[in-house]
Each structure stands twice: as structure tokens, then as C-alpha cells.
Amino acid sequence: MDKEHYSILIFGSKTSKARHLKIRRKTFKIVLYLLAFTLLSTTFFFCDYVQVKKKAFELARLRQETQTQKSQIHFFSARIEDIERQLSRLKDFDKKIRILANLERGGETDSLMGMGGPSPSDIRDKLKREKDDQGLIQQMKADVDRIQSEAVSQEVSLSELERRLQSKKEILIHTPSIWPVKGWVTSGFGFRTNPFTGLTQMHEGLDVSNRMGTPIVAPAEGIVSDVGNDLVHGKILVISHGFGMISRYSHLDKILVRTGQKVRQGDPIAELGMTGKTTGPHLHYEVRLNGIPVNPMRYVLN
């Protein structure tokens, strides 16, 4: 019978009696199994908790990296748009220089002319609104390849332009390419209604308004060929730039140069006024090529 029990003796102090406990083998085994099961379960759940915490931390890190990558994608998308705008301005500048120096290439057409559909910027904006980051990345890759190709082409064009400009340097120095005065263009080149007669007639220059006495400078190198005064134009000044080109200034308040004097680009030549037949203080500015009036805006670079 005792073989079915475990005997446990518990000893206390010297004066107390020893206690004798009997535990059935079956009960002992059940308790032992329960303890083992509890220990294993605790170990399993602890390891699982550690794994869950690790995965949660990894997920948070991946979310942070994803957010950072999205921010970078949108940043680089904006930078691509800036580069496109800069490249467009560079193309316009290239074209203006070629017109100015009479170096336009035969059969030259704008790379974007005749193209249909949305622009790359429109596509990027649409992808941003739809939060299609993968599509935005693919579009950015295509944009980078296209911009790289255009940049190479533009570099070739500018290199060619530099070589050709060297041979026309003297012409450029004598071409009126800066504003002769600061102010507001109140009347452009072309047909307009005459403020005095009410009739439509050709306006052969630009009217630039500002305060009396505003400095007027030479827009290019040249020689003062005429200084005069009449009832219609008031005090006038004419500069011969060579190569068949002259510039003319009317309604001046004061003339600071004399006939035969050589002037360089940016030299003060007169002060803005309202002499002659005029409704207010302004400069009437003309450019003539081989005696024919041309739009001064065609040559202005600044």
C-alpha cells in the first residue's frame, strides 16, 4: 500500500515534532505534469511575446523608412520640376541669343512643338494625388532620362553657340541689349491709337515712364551721331552702334553727351524728361536696323 505513496518528513525546531506527509504517487505525477506544462507554457508565451515585440518594432521601423522614402520621392519630384523649369529657361535664353546674334539654325523647331497629351509635370501631379508612389518613381526615372538627354543636347547647342558667338563678338558689343532706363513700358512697339489725334498709327519704339531726371544709359557701345531738339520729340539723342544699327531717345530732360563722343554699354547719356509733345514724363526709345524701325524688345536680354 505504501508503494502507492511518497512519504515526506518535515523537520522543525528541536522542540517540535517532525511532521510526516504522504502524497499519492498519482497525485504527485499530476502536480509534476502541471508544473512542467505551466513552465513550458510560460516559456512559449514569453518567447512569442518577445517575437511579437520584435516584429512590432521592425514594422514601426519599416513604416518610418517608408514615410522617409515617400518624403524623399516627393522632394526629388519637386527638384525634377525645378530642373525642368531651369532647362526651359536655358532653352529660351539660347533661342534669344541666337535671334540676337542672327544665328538661328535652319529648320529648328522646339522639341515640345506638335506633341499631344499631358506634360510630365501633369503626370507627376496626378500620381501624387493618387498616392501612386511606384508609378511616381517610374515617371521620375523616365523624366531623369529625358532631362539627361535634353541636357546633353543643350550642352552641344551652347558649345556650338559659344564658338559662333566668338566670331560675332564685335557685333554683340554694338547691339543694344540692355534697358536704357528703369521704369514701366506704357506703350509698346506696333500700331496704336495716337493720344493726340485719335488716329491709328505705327508706334516705332517703346515708351518707358518714370520720374523726371531718371538716368538713361547707353544700351550698347557706339558713337553719339546726333543731338537735337524739335517741337514733337523735344530733346533727342541718337547713337550709332555700327553694323547698320542706331538707337534713338526722345523727350529728354537733359543730355549728358556730345556729338562724336564714344560711349560704352551702361554709360550715362541723358536724363528722362517730358520735353516736346508728350502727356507725361517718359522716354521714347527706338532701335533702327538699316534705317528700318525694329522692336527693341527683340534685343533686350535683361
Closest CA to 228 of 218, 239, 238, 219: 238
Please report where in the chains the cell 528700318 appears, as a residue: 292
pTM: 0.47
Neighbouring residues of 226: CB distance < 8 A, sequence distance ≥ 6? 236, 237, 238, 259
Per-residue pLDDT tens digits for 147-183: 878 877 877 878 777 777 776 777 878 899 999 999 9
Mean pLDDT within 109-118 = 42
Residues 136, 142: Cα–Cα separation, whole Å: 10
Residue 104: per-residue pLDDT: 63
Which is more confidently placed, 89 or 70? 89
Residues 136, 39: Cα–Cα separation, whole Å: 53
| Angle subtended at Cα 92 by Cα 88 and Cα 93, rounded to the nearest 5 degrees | 115
Residues 296, 188: Cα–Cα separation, whole Å: 9
Instruction: Judge whether residue 10 has pLDDT over 50.
Output: yes
Percent of the chain with pLDDT over 70: 79
Which is more confidently placed, 262 or 35? 262
